Amino acid sequence: MPDIDPHIPGDEHIKHTPLTILSTLSPYSGLILAVVLVILFLIKQNILEAFLLRRLYTTKYTLLNDRDRRGFLNHHIAGGTKLLILIVGVYPFIDVAFRYAQLGDRFAPHSKVTLGDVLVVCTQVLCGMYIFELIYRVNVSPIATMHHLGTILVAEAAVAISLDLSREKDATIEFILCTVWGAFDIVCELLPHIAIILYRLRSTHHLFLSRLFLFAAISTFFGTVCETLVIFYLFGSLWPQWQIAFKIVTPLLHCAFSATQLHGSWIFWKMWKRQEKLLAKKLEEGDEEQASRPVTEERKQGEEVAVALREATVGGYSYKYPARTSYFFTRRATGMQRGKKLERAHRPLTNRKPDYRVSKSRLTTSQRRSARLQEITRGKAPKNVEKQHQQLPSPSSSASQKRQKRKRPLSHDPCLDEQTPSTRPRASPKSCEQVAEHPDDPVAHWVVTTFWPKAFGKEGFRMNQGNSTKRKGVSMHNSDRMERLAMNGIYMRASALMQRTSKDLCSSFLEGDRTPSQYPCYPPEQVPNILERIQDLGEGRLQRDITPWVVPSAENLFFSGEKTLDYIGEEIQADWTRCATMGGTRPKPDYTAGLLRTAFTKEEIGKLENYSSLERPFLFTPNLCFPFLICEAKTGQVGMDTADRQNIHSASIAVGAIIELYKAAFGTTYPDRMNELNGQVLAFSVSHNNTVVNLYGHYAVLSDDSTRTPNFYRYGIAMSSLTMYDGAERYKAYNFVRNVYEKFAPEHRKRIKDAVASLPALAERTGLTFAASDLALEDTTSQQNSQVAGSQDDGVFRAPSEPASVAKIRQMEEENKKLQEQVAKQIRQMEEEKKESKKREEKLEEQIAAQMKQQVEQQQEIISLLKQARM
């Protein structure tokens, strides 16, 4: 090694850098690159995807679509790799590029590893990281592709040309210049990886994200400027040593790299501007403190209560509180300041001491009660609302009024005479008219008059619950329903005995990026507006406007050109009249997809009709066989729980029908075919409201005892959001259902046809018998018309009606007797024929034995004659 003065400046040091081999590892660069790619794959496959990211980020990672999930994982790999290179390579880089060390110097005392070895390995690790990103990520931008490809080619070329020093006189300084590029690339691009990861984790922290993106944009910009200055300074100082090719190519490559880095800085600048707009929107809504705080479920419920209390217009009264009190109500509604009084919130409105106070029980209003309060507050405020009393009364104040001494008894007439002296606010004549408009609404009556109706609490009084046309039924606690399902072997959880192939199948259905090619109802850009508009409306609007975007209609797809779906049928809010239930009443899903009768041949339909009964159905509705997809649409979180429970009940019946079919076809002859269904997903269900979609797979776990009823479980496939992440998961369920139609439905049909082929041959129908599938439950037990039993709740099936009149039955009995006599006569004839044939066989055997005996005697005579002739 030549002697180098340690006091020589960095540029002079590079000028005097000798032309030497970079490292003894340079010829093995390809092997090092392959090892790096293998290590990155193992980290991705066995650590990050297997458990680490799921445990660290839980649903924030699992709810990402495939494209965002790959990008999220790659940012972890890229950030960790660059951090590792920065830690390991910072000392060799600075020592070689800006101090007095050479590439052949030892990395540490008494070590065989040189500084060049470390830099060459770091170069291969950086190239391997970019190669992995180009292969693993989906839809990499053209700018990023050009940057990565340029980095890989330049770095590998710098190592390759150092292998022939006789022809490449500037190989060493070219490699050092490439390390300067790589160092700035690692330092400037490390923060963007961290910023994107935090953006995925804290998408609602607009203040934090705006500052983070601004800092990332500024740091990337100034890093690019500093890189350009350093590169061109070193390039200019070494100008005489460069060959003509490097004098041309090096500036062009650097301009390309700088352009990509500036483009990344511009992207972060736009992301900062977007977060600023979101933050400004939050500030315009009047809640500056909560603009930078995450939106939690507790906060959402509190805000609903706050809105209901700030703007309640009932019976001619309008209670409006300023926007700055929203956070107070939010914290009161969530139980954070239960000890303070509500009068502090009224001070901005009036200096008068309030006559009525809101009790703590009213402040802890649940989400359902706040929704009820919004439903009854749909009147118009009177013009003299500012002159009226603005305090919000409470039913609990009636208890305290009883303890107060009054000079005269309170009248319960809401329409008091204007001359009647009273210290409480009197109801205006207009408010009396409002009370008359809502005779069945005690809450509206109380808000207007501060008194409950006289009939409230008496027998026969009922509140107006609207004109619901679906699923009226007996109220039952959720635990009771769950207990009844469990008694029938239905559990709303997964089982460890589920087949791994079924899990992989469910995961494969999530792959793809399909969107509605033809608009089901309205253009896609109007979906966010529709979701916002229907959030307080009923199930009818939800099923009409949102369900087609979540669960596409199989028949509509068929009529739109998907000719392979001709055997799939559907039902909308159809009663399952031809099957028995399992811990509930008759199912009535909002949408059901199954097989049409045309999916089977006439012979197969005959076998199924001969086989089926209420406990072993194949027709669930008059037109639908063996359903495999069920959808329920409900409003609110409570509605989602109801939808999930109804879905598992309906899906368990559908799965049980296939189990019974296989039991009848293969139970005794081929028991292994029964084991194929053990833990295998046989049906799917979709539950959704206006914000969330739940996807489940349903399967059965069979018992060793074939006489026992199997247990039914569900497997959570995915939960997607219709509103979050800028609608990135809006069509996740749509894509899943399309895959179910195209990939699962053919297997479902084949599975059933295989079982039907093994059913007993169909006996000829004589008119004296009828198939059990022809029986259906009476329509009078339908949930829609029943006032006692509701869908999926609690009730009992009525007995099926008789298939014919009494006279017809008698005639059938007579014909049956004649048929039995004919059969008995035929049996006697067959027995007589058997006896005669047996006699003929015995006689024939005697004749054969006699002939054999004669032949033996003749042979003996011939033998004796031959012996005599020889003698």
Using a cut of 0.75, tell me whether the model's pTM lies above it. no
Does residue 160 or residue 775 have the better pLDDT?
A: 160
Tens of pLDDT, residues 45-93: 999 988 898 888 888 888 888 888 899 999 999 999 999 998 998 888 8
Residue 467 is predicted with a pLDDT of: 44
Q: How far apart are CA 644 and CA 649, in angstroms?
A: 9
pLDDT surpasses 50 at 398: no
pLDDT digits (tens, 9 = 90+) for 724-758: 887 788 888 998 999 999 999 999 999 999 999 88
Residue 533 has pLDDT above 90, yes or no: no
Q: How confident is the model at residue 805 (pLDDT cuts 50, 70, 90)?
A: low
Residue 815 pLDDT grade (very low, low, confident, very high; cuts 50, 70, 90)? confident
Token pair 């359902």 is found at 368
Using 50, 70 and 90 to split pLDDT, how confident is the model at 296?
A: low
pLDDT for the residue numbered 764: 55
Contact 268, 195 (CB under 8 A): yes
Report, as an integer, the average pLDDT of 438-443. Answer: 60
Q: For residues 312 and 626, what is the distance between their CA atoms, to the nearest angstrom?
A: 49
Q: How confident is the model at residue 302 (pLDDT cuts 50, 70, 90)?
A: low
- What's the chain's average pLDDT? 74
Q: What does the pLDDT read at residue 469?
A: 46
pLDDT of residue 201: 86
pLDDT digits (tens, 9 = 90+) for 232-281: 776 776 666 666 776 777 777 777 777 877 888 888 899 898 888 888 88
H/E run at residue 277: helix 244-284
pLDDT of residue 345: 40
Mean pLDDT of 595-618: 88
What pLDDT score was predicted for residue 624? 92
Quick one: what percent of the chain has pLDDT higher than 90? 17
Over range 545-553, report the average pLDDT.
88
Of 137-146, 346-355, 675-684, the range with the highest mean pLDDT is 675-684
Half-sphere exposure of 3 (CA within 13 A, CB side): 1
User: Given this model, what pLDDT does residue 303 score?
Assistant: 52
Angle value at C-alpha 429, between 425 and 431, nearest 5 degrees = 70
Q: Taking 80 as the threshold, does the pLDDT of residue 557 lie above it?
A: yes
CA 56 from centroid of its chain's CA atoms: 19
pLDDT value at 6 more than 50: no
| pLDDT higher than 70, residue 651 | yes
Q: Map residue 686 onto helix, strand or coil.
A: strand
Residues 606 and 762: beta-carbon distance below 8 Å: yes
Task: Read off the pLDDT of residues 776-797 as tens digits, 9 standing for 90 and up.
Answer: 444 433 343 433 334 444 444 4
List of residues 6+ apart from 317 with CB closer than 8 A: 381, 382, 385, 388, 431, 447, 448
pLDDT value at 483 more than 90: no
Among 369-383, 528-542, 806-820, 838-852, where is mean pLDDT lowest? 369-383
Long-range contacts of 421-426 (CB under 8 A, 24+ apart): 423/355, 424/355, 424/450, 425/355, 425/388, 425/389, 425/450
pLDDT value at residue 157: 83
CA-wise closest residue to 257 among 369, 165, 177: 177
Between CA 330 and CA 65 the distance in angstroms is 33
